[in-house]
Chain A
């Protein structure tokens, strides 16, 4: 028996153990014990930290240092910033970005709140379908609404007269396009905030003789306030960091995102690109920190004692809800419908016969069908690598014994990508991975770096989803497992993973769709053999092949829709086969 192991006795005989200790420093024995069996997990999470340092922190550092160097690589302090200031970049691009993003945020959050109210506080029929349509834009690349808007309101647009002589190329187009693709993000946050309303609050308001209007302002709005703030920050960040919409429809109107692109791709001024990146990083970081601060203050108002709110039958209120949903639904249908239609029109606006001409990508520049298959491979790769990495790390963080320090560092590194705009990430990848001294610069220009970059870009949201799912599991599962002689690994595979399957599917879909549609980070990183479909849309549009660009954008959207459908089927199957243990006797 190992109890007679002499090494153990030597520790037991130490005076600190045999007598009651009065000091609070851990004894040597305690330290050893803490480490025993835990170092494997600590090492694994440290590896996770290392990976994220390599994928986020190190590139960002390179970017920051580039912004204070000249072309030759000498340190020049803030000279680059001064130069950018003197050429008027701040006045135009920086402030343009701020007000366009600000105005889009106000519009989107208002529309999303109206829609969320209609979906959760009235008894409209077919809300399931309505929700589906409202979420549709998330499946499209942000380039799609911009292209559609060109067809609708551009120089040869069908509805050009509606603008009363104003130009769609510029802030109007950017705001309209941004509203389209950021709407689902705001809606989902607000639906989460408003779906779980406590019916008792509404009954209390009624019992206290509050009018519907007063109830709205004293119960509904306060209940959704954190959601509203959070949606605001999210939309602001998405718009200010987006590159697709302003690139296609921005015309001569400069914003930070297009400025980075111009400095780097157009003028090969990498250090100036870094400068603009830092300027773009600032508002994004601020929004991120503010959002985190607000989220921390938010506590669950829906407790186990709450009774879910059920709206009462009220025709007038339903009509109001329908009225609030209509403009958004019409707008979404118009944008998507126009893009689909335009993609089939033979030669706009002279030959309106429908054909598949625009889908013959082989005849166009931009990478053709190869770009599409590359995108598929990249998206699948991102999905697999990302889901595994995210879940494994989240599991290590949540369900294995870890020191608080390591967990804190890891949490910070995981959320950091949320604050880093895609373009900034992409540019910093050039600096970091294309550096001649980097031992792995061989992956530059391959699909692999695109996968790494995309996983990083969308790491934070996936991480949060995984952590939320893991936190919901009973905290004692591992302890029970230990008492029953099962290792944490066995508990992981027999209990944790099966229970997290829905969340895993959600993360996989999220990564796939974003990898298919993203432009911003990858636009700097694709190589000759790794062109992507979303980038092809951009390049075809730039070359004037706007109809094929629309066709490719539709193809991407359709692919994402199929992915969503497959995920839906899988979730349905999982839900059905696990219904017995999820819902009990029902």
Chain B
């Protein structure tokens, strides 16, 4: 495949969705650039699937506008929109062969037979299923079915590809493999892609930008790195990766007080009054031999997780358990054992702070 489909730009303006009294989506604004892969990430019930279905026209927004390219699609039924979709269940037609499934959309638009043949062959080659063309979905593995669903969605060359938890029905290994495959296919075709997932690892690995959602609102939009390193809210911080939270009181300027300790922050405080929450990732905490650091603690538990050791450390000053990830070599150097005493520092450049 050398032809590059021009992906379309998608603009979502002030979209709301109510189910009765329940507000499923609240004032969603988002622009997705041509060729971009955007992941909607959030816990179940956060509204991510509803938003995807609104983009597809399978649900109707209660208010707001949608533009695809220059076209206003807010009021168009799904058949008049330009998208392909892959569902979690794939929804392959079980009574049709792989070929017939892929050709389904092409026949809908009345494409001549010969052209259909060529296009199907192209797609089969693209997803690497040339030798499975005459099989039925039930005769394929989960990963193969997934690729057929993808090929079927891509066959009519849509400007927009929608993926609804496309990998969650697969084994961990297949999932990891297909992740890369979908990503490179998407880059190759240049099709604008929206993917819904609740798996943060998947979102961080695949997306150009991640849209983190919670309770019907967008918490943060950013590149995977942004989202991880500069979470915009306590929710994002805790949802993406692991995070320790420490209650503290603001002093003057950028100083805060935690127990008997005073800390300088490099970021401005979110509020001048009331409590604020400090946050630090387990891998950002510095462990030091006993007596060398600012904070004293006792090792409560050690979990060997292969590449690193997840340690639970009780801070004696403030009676708080802190999760700290240590690499095995440092752990040996510090002679970490359950019950042993250690010291630690909380580097100010790694400290996040949120309004409590």
Contact = CB atoms under 8 A, between A and B. Distances in A.
A580 interface: yes
B115 interface: no
A497 to B, nearest CB: 10
Contacts of B152: 480, 484
A427 to B, nearest CB: 44
B71 A584 contact: no
Interface stretch (A11-19, A148-156, A286-294): A11-19
A484 B105 contact: yes
B77 A490 contact: no
Nearest to B74: A12
A211 interface: no
A399 B201 CA distance: 35
* Most chain A beta-carbon contacts within 10 A, residue among B77, B81, B89, B93: B93
A479 B57 CA distance: 9
Interface in B1-48: 14, 16, 18, 20-21, 23, 26-27
Judged by DSSP, the binding face of A is helix
Given A12-B65, A26-B62, A487-B79, A581 B95 contact: yes
A360 interface: no
B60 A20 contact: no
A346 to B, nearest CB: 55
A490 to B, nearest CB: 7
A338 to B, nearest CB: 47
Nearest to A27: B63
Given A37-B77, A485-B108, A499-B95, A24 B62 contact: yes
A578 to B, nearest CB: 7
B153 interface: yes
A484 B63 CA distance: 26
B91 interface: yes
* Most chain B beta-carbon contacts within 10 A, residue among A12, A21, A32, A582: A21
The 6 closest A-B pairs by CB, nearest first: A484-B105, A581-B136, A482-B78, A485-B108, A476-B91, A24-B18
B153 to A, nearest CB: 7
B93 A494 contact: yes
A224 B93 CA distance: 34
B50 interface: no
A302 B209 CA distance: 42
A498 interface: yes
Contact of A474 (B16, B74, B89, B139): B89
Contacts of B61: 30
- Interface size range of chain A in the complex: 35 or more
B95 A578 contact: yes
Interface in A462-506: 474-477, 479-487, 490, 494-495, 498-499
Contacts of B137: 581
B109 interface: yes
B94 interface: yes
14 contacts: A3-B70, A12-B72, A20-B16, A21-B62, A26-B62, A474-B87, A474-B91, A476-B87, A480-B87, A483-B85, A581-B94, A581-B138, A584-B138, A585-B139
Nearest to B137: A581
Given A21-B62, A480-B87, A485 B79 contact: yes
B139 A584 contact: yes
A586 to B, nearest CB: 9
Contacts of B75: 8, 11, 29, 32-33, 36
Nearest to A477: B91
A87 interface: no
Nearest to A37: B77
Given A19-B14, A21-B16, A477-B93, A485 B109 contact: yes
Given A20-B14, A24-B62, A482-B57, 6 more contacts: A12-B65, A27-B62, A30-B62, A483-B162, A580-B139, A582-B94
